[in-house]
Structure 1
């Protein structure tokens, strides 16, 4: 079954522009619909409603906040014509906690596509793809800044450790894996040593003849995955997000964090 209903987080950053273009490229293949959503908080560094804030200062704060949103909308309008999706490209904006809004909205779509988290994003619009993958219940594709794709996945790499999150990622990506291209099933030597024969048969029954690669673990699992994708010119990495707790991975470092920080191709995350 093709991906027909795509949600894209658009906040005007270079990374979100790459995400929008990526979504459009996918949409052209199957005439899918793309909904771009601008999620932003109502939080203000200075409370303009406080009685000690002069009216003129409050107005300046309000105007500054509105100007940020208006500039993002203008950027979307500027891009929309070159995407050539016509009435299959929609735009909406909503206010609240950004990660929660995106996760909740994504549950009514096939897939959510987002840009990488950038430290210099405005706090009103910043998002955290790994957290969204944890709470949304939907697959999340994280697109690096300046990445471009013609609309096909010529080589999909699937990270497999036999865990629940990895199984979910495989299931969520079947629509893409069934589509076309080369598929590599990746395990990392000395990690969990999961069986692969049943999974290879499962993929084969879905029309995908995957090739198994058991990668040496030179430094870390994350580095092994990133290096394979770079060497073998993969166009998408599919993986489970945070098989351990997010707190543990944030504190000690982990596969998800390493991959999202280092990789130069889109990553499909599921949890």
Structure 2
């Protein structure tokens, strides 16, 4: 697949600005279009429907909430327009504002794009009206999600790491990587723990080699946790991208037991190509 249609989430945070710059670089390399999407929730900043609220107070609260939402739109659109010239995409760059549940809006819009590019964990950076949860989007969208750390504005190398456990999500992530990460020259297939539980590594390496990729197997014992072992490998070898499947188990189970996906999404120092 050649990238032609990229969706980038924009909510004014530093992470979102990095994601926009990264998406623009991808688009310039592929001759692709980028849609910058501001998704924002419309819930009241205050509860105007409480039983105690007099009619006049309800009206005042509703007016204040409407003014607040108008301010969100104006603020972030102005910030995006200030950023636009540096992205150097001309008429291949579009800005949209869509109200609704933020993660749902982004997931639905991503379905008709090649990839969704988002900033890394932003929950502590911004108002809940525009807060994004990358893990939920990866589960709902059916499209690959590229998560960009703050300050990372372009891919640093053609070397990627594929976190491989033989599951369906990992296989989907590998296929997405082959479609999207053009220009990569090498993939390390990283297994953590017992690789015999995964599909024979020789078959994985052969598949990648037949796609013109130099592939090798890296095996690591678990250190503290699977997530920490993967992160340590990436910090040491400095790949341009970490490729991984999202939530091979249920999200509830991963949240409850401290899942691999959630930990890596917060702490990875490099872009993550996430598929489910």
TM-score (norm 2): 0.92
For structure 1, list consecutive stretches of 5 or more residues without a partner in the other structure: none
Q: Distance in 2 between matches of 1:5 and 1:183?
A: 25
Contact 1:161 1:192 (C-alpha < 8 Å) held by counterparts? no
Q: Secondary structure at the match of 1:212?
A: strand
- Alpha-carbon deviation of 1:182? 2.3
* Kept in 1: contact 2:177–2:243 (CA 8 A): yes
Shift, 1:216, TM fit: 2.2
CA drift of 1:56 comes to 5.1
**1:57–1:99: structure 2 CA closer, same or farther, 3 Å change rule?**
closer
Q: Secondary structure at the match of 2:218?
A: strand
Q: Do residues 215 (structure 1) and 215 (structure 2) align? A: no
In the aligned structure 1, how far is the partner of 2:58 from the partner of 2:114? 47
Distance apart, 1:4 and its partner CA: 1.6
Residue in structure 2 matched with residue 245 of structure 1 by the alignment: 250
The yes-or-no answer on 1:182 pairing with 2:186 is yes
The CA RMSD measured in Å over matched residues stands at: 1.8
In the TM superposition, 1:102-251 aligns within 5 A as: 102-120=106-124, 121-149=126-154, 151=155, 153-190=157-194, 193-194=197-198, 195-251=200-256
Q: 1:251 to 1:141 in 2, by over 3 A?
A: same
Q: What is the DSSP-based 3-state SS (H/G/I as helix, E as strand, rest coil) of the residue aligned with 1:25?
A: helix
Deviations 1:22-54 (A, max 9, x none): 101111111111111111111112255872426
Determine the structure 1 residue equivalent to 2:23.
Answer: 23
**SS of alignment partner, residue 184 of structure 2:** coil
**TM-score, normalised with respect to structure 1:** 0.94
- Number of aligned positions between the proteins: 270
- Give 1:89's aligned residue: 93
Q: Structure 2 vs 1, CA of residues 57 and 142 (structure 1 numbering), >3 Å: closer, same or farther?
A: same
Unaligned runs of 5+ in 2: none
